[in-house]
Amino acid sequence: MLVTGAGGAAASNLIRSLRAGLPSLVVVGCHADRFVLRKSTADRNYLVPGVTHPDFLRGLRRVVERERVGLLIPTTEDEVRAVARARARLPCRVFLPRPAVIELCQDKYRLARFLRRRGIAAPLTYPVRSLEALDGLFARLPGPTVWCRIRSGSGSMGAAPMRRPEQARSWIAYWRELRGVPVSAFTLSEYLPGRDFSCMALWQDGALILVKTCERLSYFAGGAQPSGISSVSHLAKTVREPRVVEACTAAIRALDPRASGVFNVDLREDRRGVPCITEINAGRFPSGTNVYDLTGRHNLAATFVRVALGGRVALRDVYEPAEGYYTVRDLDTPTGVFHEDDLFDRIVDARG
């Protein structure tokens, strides 16, 4: 198996999950940055051209042929999009959603509009056409807070809550002038104040194979962000939330009745407590994939490999909440996965 982005957080955690579920699997890694690649835990590693380089696919093909790779798993948004478009030219299996589905999901504004038009809960969202239009957009959104963010990309880039049009104007102007992000890359949407969920689902030809859910409780480096949150959880727990699964299932079926691959969905409750879909990462494992793989009876990443390679997987229950597990993430340490019964093992309470 070939995993791109080797040495990065997403690839490293994915490799950890795969080895836990499929110990005999040989994992080959690749990356365009030799320094990141040096951290890879794959069995063998290859330096390849970056995804925007014209030789990117040629480099992947060389690795696939040399290592006789059976399955390629891209781990970044750009690589997922590029590999999905070129799957017919790669001499190995690629188990990804259709390119049109991936591209729709990678535009957060288009996705929100798509879902709302089909009666699926998503935040009311407007594209920013100009700085002068911000006053009108604020008037159309429920207050007092609105959410400003860039409509594509990952890592909560450019995302922050705003109370006044002047704040949003300054924020967007800053990104335009110092980071080169055009005004039209931003959106304004209703602010969702409730619980923060993540849902990971594996699909094959329109059939849901396995789905798991968790709730983010705190955020890595959230205090350093204007919003106080980030897309990476510091503390998360597995939860049973059938309404989250229902929303995600409806969304994926609306996107593609014959959906295949993994879909990682972010949701947040609105003022009424309704889970609204804020983002869908189509075809990409999240950097926190261990919460879905190292908990419960079924390792989602390992199940993905079995399905992708043509194996038969028939689970009695496709929804496995695996309740009672917590994950703790921090810089330069492996993700901690603990059941609630074991949280205080090897800890002595010296507070009293």
Q: Where in the chain is the domain with CATH 3.40.50.20?
A: 2-94
Closest CA to 154 of 291, 287, 5: 287
Return d(Cα 344, Cα 67) in angstroms, integer: 44
Calpha distance 347→15 (Å, rounded) = 29
Which residue from 57, 64, 56, 74 is spatially nearest to 8, judged by alpha carbons? 74
| First-residue to last-residue Cα distance in the chain | 52
**What order of strands is seen across the sheet that includes strand 44-47?**
44-47, 28-31, 2-4, 72-73
Angstrom distance (rounded) from CA 346 to CA 343 = 9
Backbone angles phi, psi at 247, to 5 degrees: -65, -45
Coil, strand or helix at 266: strand
pLDDT tens digits, 59-118: 999 999 999 999 999 999 999 999 999 999 999 999 999 999 999 999 999 999 999 999
In this prediction, residue 352 has a pLDDT band, given cuts at 50, 70 and 90, of confident
Give the strand pairing for 146-150 and 207-219. unpaired
Positions of CATH 3.30.470.20 in the chain: 196-342
Token pair 């299996």: residue:
93
Model confidence, pTM: 0.93
Round to whole Å and give the CA distance between 321 and 344: 22
> Which tens digits make up the pLDDT trace of 196-205?
999 999 999 9
- What topology is assigned to 2-94 in CATH? Rossmann fold (3.40.50)
Per DSSP, 88 falls in state: G
Res 142 pLDDT > 80: yes
Distance, CA of 302 to CA of 103 (rounded, Å) = 26
What CA–CA distance (Å, rounded) separates 225 from 171? Answer: 13
Residues 6+ positions from 85 with CB-CB distance below 8 Å: 99
Residues 6+ apart with CB under 8 A from 37: 6, 7, 29, 30, 31, 45, 47
In CATH, which of 3.40.50.720, 3.30.1490.20, 3.30.470.20, 3.40.50.1580 is domain 124-190? 3.30.1490.20
Domain with CATH 3.30.1490.20 in the chain: 124-190
| DSSP string computed for 286-329 | -TTTHHHHSSSS--HHHHHHHHHTT-----S-SB---TTEEEE-
Sign, CA dihedral 226-227-233-237, equals positive
CB contact set of 9 (below 8 Å; sequence gap of 6+): 287
Q: Residue 189 has which token pair?
A: 């949407």
Residues 10, 15: Cα–Cα separation, whole Å: 9
Q: What is the pLDDT of residues 292-301, one digit of tens each?
A: 999 999 999 9
Architecture label for domain 196-342? 2-Layer Sandwich (3.30)
Sequence letter at residue 330? D
pLDDT band at residue 227 using 50, 70 and 90 as cut-offs: low
> What per-residue confidence (pLDDT) applies to 221?
67
Phi, psi for 42 (deg, rounded to 5): -65, 160
pLDDT, one tens digit per residue, over 229-284 is 777 899 999 999 999 999 999 999 999 999 999 999 999 999 999 999 999 999 99
Q: Place 157 in a pLDDT band, splitting at 50, 70 and 90.
A: confident
pLDDT at 231: 73
